[in-house]
Every structure is written in structure tokens, then in C-alpha cells.
Chain A
Amino acid sequence: MGSHDEITSDKQVLGLVGRAFKAEKVGLLIALLVMIIVFSVLTQNKFLSASNIIDIFIASSMVGLVTIGETYLLIALQVDLSAGSVAGFSGVLVTLLLSWGLSMWVSIPVVIVVGGIIGFLNSLMVNKLKLEPFIATLASMSVFRGLAYIICGGKSVFVMNNTFLTMGVGRIFGIPIPVIIFLVMFLIFGIVLARTRFGRSVYMIGGNATAARLAGINAQTVKAKLYIMTAAFAALGGIILAARMSSGQPDASVGLEFDAVTAAVLGGVAFSGGIGTLGGALIGLIIMQGFNNGLMILNVQSFWQTVAKGLLLVAALSFDYVRNLKRKAKT
């Protein structure tokens, strides 16, 4: 009897692992692998060199921070279109504060808090005015892009503060600081999403908001936290970008939110809510940025990178659609 039980529990464990990977991740990992192999061959291994991998991660870090927020939001059946504008606005704001002589240890927290407040305003429009997330954040996208130009009079603000610039270009153990910030955030928020009560509420709200509410989950509070979080990440991304470019530019990060959404959806986050993981979104992000990077090494005109991004998205989603059809046909 005992051995029989062991066999079934082994099988269960195997089945579990298998299911978790087969269903959601294997397709993605294969796509990632294919991309790596193809570009490695085409670029004669330049693609896989340490410095190039770091390049890919640096390019991923700003989008990546916002991808965390958008992934949470998409799972909860929300979206924030204002992230790029908030990033642009924050980049200008932080450089302005620094140029007025404020210390970066004051300026950075202030700007992140301002970002959080913008997120809170977004959540008020969604929760209290009952605006569709798309519309509410479309409005703030416009407002904060405008304000980004207004506070700097339309001109870039340059930074002299060397400690601040380190944040953009400095390295610890050879790894750029932006990459470290982004990976640490991914890890923390990945665990929060998968392991905590808050993370679970996000999934349940996206899966069925009415059922979640009738089970005692306060969806408005959860949503407020998500918008605050996303806007704070956008602010942080904007700050890092300003540090990398040693200037705050009001036209920076246009379309950042769409790149973040693209990465999340590529990584298996369902636009219809309730489904997806941050790990998946990370792979989606790496695929997206890897593609850009590979085409760049191959000297493909940058306009084609944008075309490729769109085609990649369509290809990934058609793949999902066909797989779902097959699964349906089985049952």
C-alpha cells in the first residue's frame, strides 16, 4: 500500500510541474530559445556575448519597471496608458529639483511620491467617477505629457550631479545599476503576485470582479494600490532614464506603456484579465528587447524594429488562439 501511495504522489508532483510549465511557459521558453539561436547564428555569436546581454537588459530595465505595473493591472482587467507620460514628467521634474540644488536623496523620493499621487488620481477616476481605465488614463496621458513640457518650458533640463548620474551608468559587480533595480523589483513583485493575499486578490478581481466583491474583496482598494504602484514605477523609470541621459527631456518615454503592455501580453498575460505571471511577462520583455537588439546588430533599419514588434505580437497571440482552439476541441 505504502509504495502505491508514493507512486501516485510522485506522479502528482510530476503532473503538477509538467502542467505549470507545459501550459504557460514552455511555448514561451521555446520562443525565447529559438530567438537566441537564430540571432546567435545570424550575428556570429555577437548576440550572446556578455556585453550584448547586458545591453539587452539595460534596454529592458525602463520598460521593465512599467511592465511590472501593467502586468498587475492587466491581470486585474485594468490598464494604465499614462505611464509613458508620467515617466517623461518625472524625468523632467527630478532634473528640475536637482537643478534647484536639492539633494538627490530628497528629489528622488519626492518624484516617486508625486508619481504615486498621479496613480492615485487615476484610481479615483476609475473607482469613483467609474470611468473606463482606458479613457481615464488616456486623459492623464495627455495631461502629464503637457505638464512635462510646461514645467521645463519645453526645453531639456541638464544635470550636473555626479552621484545622480551614477544611478544611470554606474555598475555593481559589473552589472549596471538600472538592471539591478529592475531585476530586484521583478523578483519582489513576482513573489508578491504569486504568493501573497494581495496578489491573489488581483487575479480574482480580474477573473470575476463581481464574485470577488461578493466574497468580501474590496476591489477599489486593490485597484487604487495597482494604479499607485504603476505610476510610481513609471516615475522611477523616468528618473533612471534621466540619469542615463544626464538630462530631463519632456518628450522622453513616449509609448512606454504600449511597450510594457506588449511585453506582458507576449509573456502570456491575458488581455481579458485573470491570467498571467510576472515570470512570463519577464520572458516576454526579454523576447521583445532581444528582437530589437538582434535586428540592431544586423543593421536592420530601426523602423523595421517597430514593424517586427507588431508582427511578433500578432504571431504570439495567434499561436495562443490556435492552442486554445485545440484545447477546446479536446473537451
Chain B
Amino acid sequence: MTLNSSVEFKGITKTFPGVKALDGVSFLARGGEVLALVGENGAGKSTLLKVLNGDYQQDSGLYLIDGAERHFKTPQEAIAAGVSVIYQERQVVPYLNVAENIFMEEIPVMRSGLIDVKQLNARAQKVIDEFKLPIRPTTKVKDLSVAYQQMVEIMKAYRRSPKIIAFDEPTASLSESEISTLFEVIERLKASGIIILYVSHRMKEIFQISDQVVILKDGKYVTQLPTRSITEQEIVKLMVGRELGDIFNGLSRNEEIGEVVLRVSGLTNDYIHDIGFELKAGEILGFAGLVGAGRTETMRAIFGADRVNSGQIFFGGKQKRVEAPEDAIACGLALCPEDRKDQGIVGGRSIADNISLAILKKLSKMGFLDKPKERSLAEDAVRELRIRTPSVDKKVGELSGGNQQKVILARWLAANPKVLLLDEPTKGIDVGSKSEIYQLICDLAKRGIGIILVSSELVEVLGLCDRIIVMSQGRITGELKRKEANEEKVLELAMAGM
């Protein structure tokens, strides 16, 4: 393996309808070093990886491996050229064993056409030994921990003798000790001359593992620096820039907080323990925490989407039984779910159909829908929320992420809720739409709606919320007032007990 291999992007640009996902991104990574790609959600990291592995083709710019220009039309071509990406979601076949997964497309067969199990296992064992891992070739992958499933994927990439291995948020679902095992493996890969690209937003890890840092912001390349020459604060500043800060300062916030509209006490189920808090009318209450801290699960439990084992929910002082979403809706609750595409929109149906979904009962007489009313309601919402579309007949699946989110907000505003639960409302949305949605959230608070904002983007929680509740491992670990909250305090609580 050559130690002087390199991968270089020169002015890579990739545009989607309405969004410039990558805008003149350049960087150079060399064999034997770890290059970290950092940036906020939506900064273009995933798009960049997709260009790297041939899933997307750049509109302009050069993609060079070892100095030679490459144009991959499919991921298969990229793999053949030595590019492997280890994704956040596991890409293993759970019911096949470790050896079969590692050698997936190159399973040795005997002359009879049957699988040469002996040779397959021996080869797999050799790879496993190189990584010094305590797993057996014949174990079914579904019986391995998530961390070892990831190792199987890394070994699969490794045995193809790759030039480049890119990791996309590889530690998202790993424990501390599993992370250190992963880092040992990455060090070993690095020592063998492989180029490592490491995508993460966890600062600690970036300083631990990387040699170079490339910072992206809103699809644009900001800078490339040796990790040693920069501090965490400086990276964050470059990542966030001044823009978002400006956005939050420019918001017109609600100052009048009213009575308690929602009180939860002792809420417990399989995912969350003893959750209790109060929400007042016109208040924006943030829920912060790491991925998997139980924030989404808390919202789903309150909304009746998941079963609750114990605990009480009070609306306007009265205890209510919430066993299904329709019960919650009847109490004046609304939920914009985290996974917009799979749980929020009905992509194949029109904007009008999507907006009226939660109030079909109100819109109908003797079971018949009042279609003109439905239409005018949708048209009003499109105007008010500035949903960019030629007409309310357009399929929601064809809108941009920001506009889809506005359609879901419109759906709930039509229902006139007292409490609005927003789960990652700006996930995967461009900065322009984000600021519109922030202002919208403030406007709703002014109308006296109590709002819960679940977000993994700390700037968002710190910039918008009157109060922040932090969760870790299914429990509430602390609460911060707007004035006293800062990034360190939130993170400290978010890591509590880990």
C-alpha cells in the first residue's frame, strides 16, 4: 500500500432544486492521516460523502484520487476504486454470519458450486485476528452489539484493500469503551496508509482522533487546518459563523408567559423514567440532550403515540387519559414528529389534503367534506406561512424540506392547539427556511401556545427557548433558565451519568 496516496476535492459544487448543498468545497487528504469533516446539520457533510462514494455526481469541480480525475457513476465504481463509506446506519445483513458479511460479494465456492465454508471462515478469522477482535466468523451478525456490527462493516471495507475509508458519525450509538475500541481500529487503519475521512460533530472526538480539520458551513468550504493549531471554540465559531447568532437576535420574541397549560408527572415507560415538568402558555421550553436521551420518546409518550406504564398528564389543571394520538389532539395537543418524511407528511397527497388531515371532523358535515372550505383554509395557510408552491394541489413530497415542515406546522395550526410539541423541526432544512421557522415558532408563542422544542442543535435551543430541560439516558438531568444556560452547562447535563 502506498503511503503517499491522496484524495482531493477542488471546488466541488452540487445543487438540488432550491438548495446549493455544496458550494465550491475543496480539501486534500493524504494517506496515513485522519481528516475530520465538521459542520452543523445541513452544512453539506452527507452530500459530500455521497459525492465521494459515487451516489451523487458533482455539478462542477474536480474529484481526484492520487492526482487522477475520477467520475464515479455508481457506488460500485467507487468501491472498485478503493472508496468505502461506513454509514451511521448499519449496512449489514443481520441473518448472515460475520464471515458471510465480511466477504459478501466474494464468497469462496468449491468446484461443486457450494460455499467453501472452511475457507470462508479461515479468511474471515484472518481479518478478525488483524483487528484483534473477540468475535467468531460463524456468529450471526444480528447477535452482535451495534459496535461489533460496525466492526464487521469496517472489516468488510478493509478486506477490499481500500485507499479511503470515510466514517459518517460512527460513534452516534456507541458507548465510551466501544468508542475507544473504534479509535484503536482507526489508528491501525491509519498506520497502514489508508486515508481516513471522519465526519462528526463531537468536538472531543475530533481532537482525539484527527490530524486535519475541514470546516464546512451551509455547503461552503470555510477552511482546512491542522487539528493541533486550533481550539474547540475556534472551530465552533467557524462552524456556526455569526449568521445564526444574528438570526436569533433579530427574532421578535414573546414576553408574556401565561398559566400552566401542560403538566406531566412521573411519566414512565420502556424508554423514559419519571419524567415531570410544567409548560406555560406562550412559553418555549427546550428539550436538549444527546441522540437517544429519550426526548423523542417523551414527546411520543405525552402524545399517546407510545404506551405509558405510569405517570399523569394534566391539561389546564385537569388530569386526562391519553391512550392514542386522537385523545391528545382532543386535549389541544399537537406533535410535529422528528421524522418528517416517514411520520409527518403524506408525500403522495396534495398540500390541501395534508393541511386538513388533523381537522377532517371539523371540516365535514354529516361525513361529507367541505372541499371549498378545505381549499381556502389551505390557501390561507400557504400565504400566511409563506409555503413556496404554485398551488395547494401540489404533492407535498415534491416540496423542499423547509416547505414540507411548514405544511406540517400548518396542519397543526389549523387544529388550533394549546400545546405544540416540535421534534427537530429544522432537521435537514436550509438556513433561510430555518430562520423563517424560528420566527414562526416565536409568533405561535405570542398567540399563547405553549411550545416544546426538541432539538439536537444547541444553538437553536439556546437561541429560542425560555427554559431548557436536559435529558440523559431517559431521565431529566437538569433544567436551565434562558439567562443561565450556555453550551457547556447543557452538555454537562446531557452527559450526566454516562
- Of residues 192 through 249 on chain A, the ones whose CB sits less than 8 Å from some CB of chain B are 195-198, 200-201, 203-204, 207-208, 210-218
Nearest A residue (CB) for B340:
A211
CB pair B369 A204 closer than 8 Å: no
CB pair A211 B348 closer than 8 Å: no
B360 touches which of A195, A200, A214, A331 (Cβ 8 Å): A200
B148 → chain A, closest Cβ, in Å? 30
Nearest A residue (CB) for B336:
A214
Which of chain A's residues have a CB closer than 8 A to the CB of B329?
215-216
A203 touches which of B17, B349, B364 (Cβ 8 Å): B349
CB pair A215 B369 closer than 8 Å: no
CB pair A211 B326 closer than 8 Å: no
CB pair B345 A214 closer than 8 Å: no
- Cβ-based interface call for A274 (8 A): yes
Tell me whether A204 and B357 are in contact in the complex, defined as CB-CB below 8 angstroms, given that A210-B342, A210-B343, A215-B411 are known contacts.
yes
CB pair A196 B335 closer than 8 Å: no
- Cβ-based interface call for A298 (8 A): no
- Of residues 291 through 348 on chain B, the ones whose CB sits less than 8 Å from some CB of chain A are 303, 305, 324-326, 328-330, 335, 337, 342-348
- Cβ-based interface call for B361 (8 A): yes
Which of chain B's residues have a CB closer than 8 A to the CB of A275?
348
Tell me whether A207 and B393 are in contact in the complex, defined as CB-CB below 8 angstroms, given that A197-B364, A215-B357 are known contacts.
no
CB pair A204 B17 closer than 8 Å: no
Chain A 1-20 interface mask (CB, 8 Å, partner B; 1/0) = 00000000000100010010
Complex Cα spacing A203 to B352, Å: 13
CB pair B348 A207 closer than 8 Å: yes
B353 touches which of A12, A16, A203, A210 (Cβ 8 Å): A203
A280 → chain B, closest Cβ, in Å? 15
Nearest B residue (CB) for A196:
B367
B334 → chain A, closest Cβ, in Å? 9
- Does more than half of chain A's interface fall in helix, strand or loop, or is it mixed? helix
Centre residue among A12, A19, A212, A216 by max chain B CB count within 10 A:
A216
- Cβ-based interface call for B398 (8 A): yes
Complex Cα spacing A195 to B360, Å: 11
Chain B 351-369 interface mask (CB, 8 Å, partner A; 1/0) = 0010011101101100111
Complex Cα spacing A207 to B344, Å: 11
Complex Cα spacing A12 to B345, Å: 25
CB pair A198 B337 closer than 8 Å: no
Complex Cα spacing A201 to B303, Å: 20
A211 touches which of B346, B367, B369 (Cβ 8 Å): B346
Centre residue among B330, B337, B358, B360 by max chain A CB count within 10 A:
B360
B contact residues vs A (CB 8 Å cutoff) = 17, 303, 305, 324-326, 328-330, 335, 337, 342-349, 353, 356-358, 360-361, 363-364, 367-369, 371, 391, 393, 398, 411
Beyond A19-B393, A195-B368, A203-B346, list 14 extra A-B contacts (CB 8 Å): A196-B367, A197-B369, A198-B367, A200-B356, A200-B369, A203-B353, A204-B346, A207-B348, A211-B337, A212-B346, A215-B357, A215-B411, A216-B358, A274-B348
